[in-house]
Amino acid sequence: MVEAVATNQTILVVGGGISGISAALEAAECGKDVILVEKNPALGGRISQLYKYFPKMCHPSCGLEINLRRIKGNRNVRVMTLTEVAAVSGEAGNYSVTLKRKPRYVNDKCTACGDCATAVEAEFDDEYHFGMKQRKGAYLPFNMAYPQRYVLDPRIIGSDDAEKAKAACKVDAIDLDMAEESIELKAGAIIWATGWRPYDAAKIQPYGYDRFANVITNVELERMMDPFGPTGGKILRPSDGKEAKDVAFIQCAGSRDKNHLKHCSRICCMASLKQTTYMSDLYGDEGKSSIYYIDIRAIDRLDDFFRKVWEDENVSFIKSKVASITEDKETGNPILHGVNTEGYQRYSNPHDLVVLAIGMEPSVAPADFPIEVVLDENGFVEQDEANGAFFAAGCTADALDVNRSVQNATASALRAIQVVNRVAATEAEG
Ligand X SMILES: Cc1cc2nc3c(=O)[nH]c(=O)nc-3n(C[C@H](O)[C@H](O)[C@H](O)COP(=O)(O)OP(=O)(O)OC[C@H]3O[C@@H](n4cnc5c(N)ncnc54)[C@H](O)[C@@H]3O)c2cc1C
**Chain residues in the site for ligand X (CB under 6 A):** 14-20, 37-40, 45-47, 50, 53-54, 84, 193-196, 218-219, 222, 267, 271, 274, 360, 363-364, 394-395, 400-403, 405
Indicate the pairing of strand 215-217 with strand 353-358: parallel
Size of the residue set binding ligand SF4 (CB under 6 A): 26
How distant is the alpha carbon of residue 408 from its chain centre? 17
Rule CB under 6 A: say whether 176 interacts with ligand SF4. no
Measured between alpha carbons, how far is 121 from 139 in angstroms, rounded to an integer?
Answer: 12
Residue 168 interacting entry, from ligand SF4, ligand X, none, C-beta within 5 to 8 Å by type: ligand SF4
Nearer to ligand X, 173 or 402 (CB): 402
Q: Which is nearer to ligand SF4, 116 or 364 (CB)?
A: 116
Residue 103 has a CB neighbour count (10 Å cut-off) of 17
User: In angstroms, rounded to a whole number, what is the distance separating the alpha carbons of residues 311 and 178?
Assistant: 57
Report how far Cα 139 is from the mean position of its chain's Cα atoms. Answer: 19
Q: If contact means CB under 5 to 8 A according to the sort of partner, which of ligand X, ligand SF4, none does residue 14 touch?
A: ligand X
Q: Beginning with the edge strand found earlier in the chain, give each strand of the sheet holding 215-217 in spatial order.
A: 215-217, 353-358, 246-253, 288-293, 315-319
* Of 119 and 250, CB closest to ligand X: 250
Q: Which is nearer to ligand X, 145 or 336 (CB)?
A: 145
Q: In a 3-state reduction of DSSP, which class is residue 139?
A: strand
Q: Out of 122, 264, 339, 414, which residue is the one contacting ligand SF4 (CB under 6 A)?
A: 264
Task: Give the amino acid at 89.
Answer: S
Residue 67: which of 127, 144, 7 has the closest Cα?
144
Which partner from the list ligand SF4, ligand X, none does 116 bind, CB cut-off 5 to 8 Å by kind?
A: ligand SF4
Minimum CB–partner distance for residue 302 and ligand X (Å):
9
User: Closer CB to ligand SF4, residue 131 or residue 206?
Assistant: 206
Q: How far is the CB of 167 from ligand X (least distance, A)?
A: 32
Phi, psi (deg, nearest 5) at residue 348:
-140, 90
Cβ neighbours around 429 below 10 Å, total = 6
Q: Which does 269 bind (CB under 5 to 8 A by kind): ligand X, ligand SF4, none?
A: ligand SF4
CA distances (Å), origin 293, targets 217, 302, 342: 16, 17, 11
Q: Minimum Å distance from CB 277 to ligand SF4?
A: 17
Rounded to a whole number of angstroms, the minimum distance from the CB of residue 70 to ligand X is 16
Contacts with ligand SF4, 355-394, as mask; x by CB under 6 A:
--x-x-----------------------------------
- Rank residues 17 and 137 by Cβ distance to ligand X and give the closer one: 17
297 binds ligand SF4 (CB under 6 A): yes
Give the DSSP per-residue string, 300-350. GGGHHHHHHHHT-TTEEEEE----EEEE-TTT--EEEEEEETTTTEEEEEE
- Of these partners, ligand SF4, ligand X, none, which one is at the site of residue 137 (CB under 5 to 8 Å by kind)? none
List all residues 6 or more positions away from 430 whose beta carbon is below 8 Å from its beta carbon: none
Cβ atoms of 182 and 100 closer than 8 Å: yes
Q: Give the x-and-dash track for 82-111 against ligand SF4 (CB under 6 A).
A: ------------------------x---xx
Binding site for ligand SF4 (CB under 6 A): 106, 110-116, 150, 168-169, 171, 173-174, 251-252, 255-256, 264-266, 268-269, 297, 357, 359
